Structure 1
Amino acid sequence: MRFDYGVTRAPQRLVFGPGQRAALGRLARDLGTRALICTDERLGGLPLLGELVADLQAHGVTVEVFAETQAELPLDGITTCAARYKDFAPDMVIGFGGGSCLDLAKLVSLLLSFPGPLSEYYGEFKIPGPVRPVIAIPTTAGTGSEATPVAVLADPDRVMKVGISSPELIPHTSICDPELTVTCPRGLTAISGADALAHAIEGFAAVSRVATADLATSRVFVGKNTLSDVYALRAIKLIFDHLEAAVNQPEDITARSAVMLGSTLAGLAFGTAGTAAAHAIQYPIGAETHTAHGLGVGILLPFTMRFNAQTAAGDYAEIAREIGVATATDDDASAAEALITALSALFARIGMPATLDKIGVTPASLDNIATLSMNAARLIENNPRTLSPQAIREILDAAMAQA
């Protein structure tokens, strides 16, 4: 672990614990008197949403609800929401739901604060100043969006999903209540947990950059650093130890709490350290197969780690010893391999497919996927081992079922 440089960017207030959704009204009243809630159709029809609205109203906050968030967050849904509630002029935007709901809240807040189009803000550090405060209330444990400076959307003019990255997008307040994840379906719990593990592992093993004075102001993802390492290592331990129970025993609140805490810590980690190859390669795979982000990332993670092991063996070995699959007497290469094996076994136990062909990737598409993956430049540059289209093709070949 390096000790010469560290960066943390985080919500001003992050509240964690079972039942903490009841703090919403008290936390929101500090931010104004009008709130827009961004959620989806399923959550919008639950009594739970009514409880949140009533709590806000009891604390003097007028509420409007947009319950039309779509999966993968298409651009037109974002602009529709922002236009509909422009005259309402909310003082805060509340994201209630999975990663798409949280990202919608971030991007609607952006459009209510600055003129569009959103394409002006694609990339890093393009947002000119503070946006309206966002309160994030996640109902899944995976994206870490409640703690990150990133929002991802689907633009029909782009082949792959695009990201807007700026510290201005970090939610002002995050309420992480693991009771909200108890009804999360088994499969979604599994792929969300796999995504969170990838966030933490890729952040912990990210490229280590020279600690210049402008590093944190010139890059959203600064690479491996001493502060993100603390979050990442704890996140990995929590998720590795408890994800299987959260998947198979959904009402186990201890397991649910551990995985949600791990996911949030992973968000704090990768929000500054960044992610790498598994995430970069998933973008074109997701666009081609229309499969969930966490599913592709989870399949890819062991294969990208094996590719990176010659460079990142020390980092992987440290993780392996932390989670108890290697000892201090094991050499780094053996410990790294033990970690990869243990992750693959965990993913198999929670029902994750092992290879990309299982989600519809075909051999004929591999060259195109390898080429398109390079477009995720900030992730490619963050990988500990140098990537090229040929190197990515090597990873993809390994990740396809062998005849």
Structure 2
Amino acid sequence: MTLFAALRLPREILFGKGQRHALPAVARRLGQRALVCTDARLAATPVFGEMMAALKAASIEVLVHDGVQPDVPRDSVALCADEVRSFQPDLVIGIGGGSCLDMAKCVSLLLAHGGALQDYYGEFKVPGPVLPIIAVPTTAGTGSEVTPVAVVSDPERTLKIGVSSPFLIPSAAICDPDLTMTCPPSLTAIAGADAMTHAIEAFTAARKPPGHELAQQNVFIGKSALSDQFALYAIRLLGRSLEKAVADGSDESARADVMMGALAAGCAFGTAGTAAAHAVQYPAGALTDTAHGLGVATMLPYVMSYNRRVSASAFAEVGEALGLAPTGSTDEQADAAIREVSRLFAAIGITLTLAALGLTADQIDWTCEQAIGIQRLVKNNPRAIDLAGMHQLVQAAFDGDLAAAAR
């Protein structure tokens, strides 16, 4: 086949212990008036206060918006934009978990282009550059620091909705593992499992015909040579250290591995995209009020089983990245990889079935109908999936039957 790759990333990525101290220098290259989006808990911490003091010492005017809420309610974005417009920021800094980074992206968009956020739902609706964004994650999972998507909750819709545009990719991502050291075990597990799901779905995403128009017409384009490298690197790091980081949050090496794994997974899926595990989580998560990372991780082993007949060689590579010895046939190696993902997720407390997440039997049909409608994800799945196939997958995940998913 013809070698093909595409990748969209920030202009600058800084990773490592203490890299948060580079924030003032990075910010000064982008502007002099910074809006900072964070949540109330983080805003009250000494480390956040130190970061704000460093910005001010660098002669950067700072306005802190500390009202970011989980899942970024749509109207909270408009309220923030209206409140800060008179400040006239020339850059936006998101500090915190994925919601804080997504809020920074959305507010930057509204400040640059006006209108209502819903004007930009979908792909390629952002008409041009937004205010420069610096993303400083304090959790290791979403990868939002490097991706072209922001997810919000809309009161007029049952499912969360995304704004997807290369213009939303932050100008700079500053990833300091020290900022994750206080994450509790449950959040570490859910965020890390989210990152593992990103990496595996990106690595096994459908490979599209590599025409010149592919990346011009799609934000997420399926697997390619470069996204594969980031995905495998993420799987390797998360496979060796996620369990350690959950067990001992003070393990600096494990924390660094998990944060780098989440970053690399974001680099992979930010171009390749994700697939069926994410498609099911949108409706299932809405019905069960489930954390995104927990829902996609619950689905992942079943989606891997469903895809095994067309992705066995890719799953064998996943197994090697997870540290498994490449013994037996390709199919046997693929099965071993699926078992290892299931074992790892069970070990860190990921819920094993959709029923255990709270989905009820009478909600299965609606979940399937909504999931199959999310075509940007469904078309990225390596094995074609129609409504009957989606029902097979969701029923298997509800029952906890990996073998049924593989039929």
Q: For the superposition of Structure 1 and Structure 2, which TM-score range results when normalised by the shorter chain?
A: over 0.9
Partner AA of 1:131 in structure 2 = V
Q: Which runs of 5+ in 2 are unaligned?
A: 402-407
Rounded Cα–Cα distance in structure 2 between residues aligned with 1:322 and 1:281: 26
Q: What SS class does the counterpart of residue 86 from structure 2 fall into?
A: coil
Aligned length: 401
Residue 44 (structure 1) shift: 1.1
Structure 1 residues 20 and 333, CA, compared in 2 at 3 Å: closer, same or farther? same
Amino acid at match of 1:90: P
1:4 counterpart SS class: coil
Aligned to 1:127: 126
Q: CA deviation at 1:164?
A: 0.7
Residue of structure 2 equivalent to 1:196: 195
User: Could you tell me which residue of structure 2 aligns to residue 223 of structure 1?
Assistant: 222
- My pick for the range that moved more, 311-320 or 168-177, is 311-320
Contact 1:13–1:172 (8 Å) recurs in 2: yes
SS of aligned partner of 2:145? helix
Q: How does 1:264-343 map to 2 (within 5 A)?
A: 264-327=263-326, 329-343=327-341
Q: Which residue of 2 aligns with 1:400?
A: 398
* Preserved CA contact (<8 Å) 1:326 1:338: no
The AA in structure 1 aligned to 2:381 is N
1:352-363 alignment runs, 5 A limit: 352-363=350-361
Q: Spell out structure 1 runs of 4+ moving beyond 6 A.
A: none
Question: Which residue of structure 2 lines up, in the alignment, with residue 79 of structure 1?
Answer: 78
Contact kept? 1:71, 1:100, Cα under 8 Å: yes
Q: 1:3, 1:226 within 8 Å by CA — same for their partners in 2?
A: no
**Conserved in 2, the CA contact under 8 Å of 1:148 and 1:268?**
yes
Distance 1:60 1:32 in 2: 10
Contact kept in structure 1, 2:135 and 2:170, CA below 8 Å: yes
How far apart in 1 are the matches of 2:145 and 2:323? 29
Q: Contact 1:182–1:256 at 8 Å: present in 2 too?
A: yes
Query: In 1, distance between residues paired with 2:13 and 2:248?
Result: 27
Alpha-carbon distance in 2 for matches of 1:323, 1:161: 32
Distance in structure 2 (CA, Å) of the matches to 1:193 and 1:139: 13
What is the CA–CA distance in structure 1 between the aligned matches of 2:247 and 2:54, rounded to whole Å?
A: 33
- Taking a change above 3 Å as real, the CA distance of residues 376 and 31 of structure 1, as seen in their structure-2 partners, is same
Secondary structure, in 3 states, of the residue corresponding to 2:223?
A: coil
For 1:106-185, what aligned pairs fall within 5 Å after superposition?
106-185=105-184
1:141 is displaced (CA, Å) by 0.4
Counterpart position of 2:388: 390
Shift of 1:136: 0.2
**Contact persistence 1:304–1:395 (CA under 8 A):** yes
Residue type of the alignment partner of 1:390: A
Shift of residue 321 of structure 1? 2.0
Whole-angstrom distance in 1 between the partners of 2:109 and 2:321:
39
2:185 matches 1:186:
yes
Give 1:47 shift: 1.3
**1:96 maps to 2:60:** no
How far is the alpha carbon of 1:402 from its aligned partner? 5.8
Distance in 2 separating the partners of 1:273 and 1:155? 26
Are 1:348 and 1:354, in contact at CA under 8 Å, matched by a contact in 2? yes
**Counterpart-to-counterpart distance in 2, 1:402 and 1:73:** 32
**Kept after mapping to 2: 8 A contact 1:317/1:326:** no
String of CA shifts for 1:27-54, please: whole Å, max 9, x gaps.
1011111001100110011111111111
Q: So what's the TM-score if we normalise by structure 2? A: 0.97
Aligned match of 1:381 in 379, 391, 399? 379
The answer as to whether partners of 2:239 and 2:323 remain within 8 angstroms in 1 is no
Q: What is the root-mean-square deviation of aligned Cα atoms in Å?
A: 1.1
Q: Determine the C-alpha separation between the residues in 2 that align with 1:138 and 1:116.
A: 28
List per-residue Cα deviations over 1:317-347 (Å, max 9, x = no partner): 11112322241x4222111110010011111
Write the distance in 1 (CA, Å) between the matches of 2:173 and 2:151: 18
Spell out, residue by residue over 1:60-81, the C-alpha distance to the aligned partner (whole angstroms, 9 max, x if none): 1000101111111110111111
The one-letter amino acid of 1:25's match is: P
Report the AA paired with residue 70 of structure 2.
A
Q: Which amino acid aligns with 2:191?
A: S
Q: Which amino acid aligns with 2:346?
A: A
